[in-house]
Amino acid sequence: MHCPECVKEARATAPRTRPALLTAFRPSSGRPVVTWSLIAVTVAVFILQMIPGSPVTQALLYYPPFTYTEPWRMITTVFVHSEGSIFHILLNMYSLFIFGSILEQLVGRWRFLALYLLGGLGGSVAVLLLSPQALVVGASGAIFGVVAAFVVIQRGLGRNNIQLLVLVGINLVIGFVPGFNISWQAHLGGLVVGAAIGLVYLRTRRVNQRPIQVALLGGIFAVLLALTLFRLFVIG
């Protein structure tokens, strides 16, 4: 038996617990919330795509001639997927969950988000340069960027990942096989950008190197922007 005063005092002094969803977003939680958030947004967009008559796919896909007036499509395309097969989004989100969960904890949330978006942008730039009349949807460029960065960082830390390299090579080769309807250009662009960013993260790991890291990431973005402008206004 407990007296009311004792119960009241115990409640007042007991530590308050917060919902796990809120504590997960703390920097100290170690949870890959950026990876989870990207998956959640992508799945939500896919559900909207499946609504009959939905304009979502047409509004967010990337078509290089639209770059002049709607350049944001170079990024939004990573959030839309093929409506004809659910395996497209399932494979991409599974890959993001596996590699993103690990890599986000290695490099940090904002670095991982920068990697994902720049990888997706790199994929779109490659499509603009190599296949300027293609319609592109999917997060494959961003996913290849994540995987490439993961490989570079793992190799830099002295870890063996031959099997992962073989898997990346197989997926890249599949893009050249007729009938698969896969944008190898986006894969290649994401791969190159992801590898470059992985090398930047690997070589600028110390706290006092953060300004250099930010500058190098800005340089990668500047190169992608320059390639885009060159294709649009010089080559035409």
CATH code at position 188: 1.20.1540.10
The tokens of 156 are what? 């830099």
Q: Is the residue at 205 inside a domain? A: yes
What is the per-residue pLDDT for 19?
Answer: 52
Q: Is the residue at 11 inside a domain? A: no
| Active site annotation includes 88 | no
Q: Is the residue at 83 inside a domain? A: yes
What is the per-residue pLDDT for 166?
Answer: 66
- On the question of pLDDT at 48 being above 60, the answer is yes
Q: Is the residue at 8 inside a domain? A: no
Average pLDDT over residues 77-100: 90
By residue range, what is the domain housing residue 119?
30-235
What is the per-residue pLDDT for 22?
Answer: 45
Q: Is the residue at 65 inside a domain? A: yes
Using CB atoms within 10 A of its CB, is residue 8 exposed (0-12), middle (13-18) or buried (19+)? exposed
Ramachandran angles phi, psi of 136, nearest 5°:
-130, 130
Cβ atoms 150, 102 nearer than 8 A: yes
Q: Is the residue at 16 inside a domain? A: no
Single out the catalytic residue among 95, 124, 140, 183: 140
Cβ atoms 40, 24 nearer than 8 A: no
* pLDDT digit string, tens, across residues 163-210: 666 666 666 565 555 444 578 899 999 999 999 999 999 999 999 999
* pLDDT digit string, tens, across residues 108-160: 999 999 999 999 999 999 999 999 999 999 999 999 999 999 999 988 888 76
Q: Is the residue at 108 inside a domain? A: yes
| CA atoms of 6 and 93, how far apart (whole Å) | 51
Q: What percent of the chain has pLDDT over 90?
A: 65
> 181 — alpha (psi -120 to 50), left (phi > 0) or beta?
left
Q: Is the residue at 14 inside a domain? A: no
Q: For residue 171, how many other CB atoms are within 10 A of its CB?
A: 19
| Active site annotation includes 82 | no
Give ∠ CA 177-43-173 in degrees, rounded to 5: 15
- On the question of pLDDT at 23 being above 60, the answer is no
Number of domains observed in the structure of the chain: 1
What is the per-residue pLDDT for 127?
Answer: 97
pTM for the full model?
Answer: 0.85
Single out the catalytic residue among 81, 95, 183, 187: 187
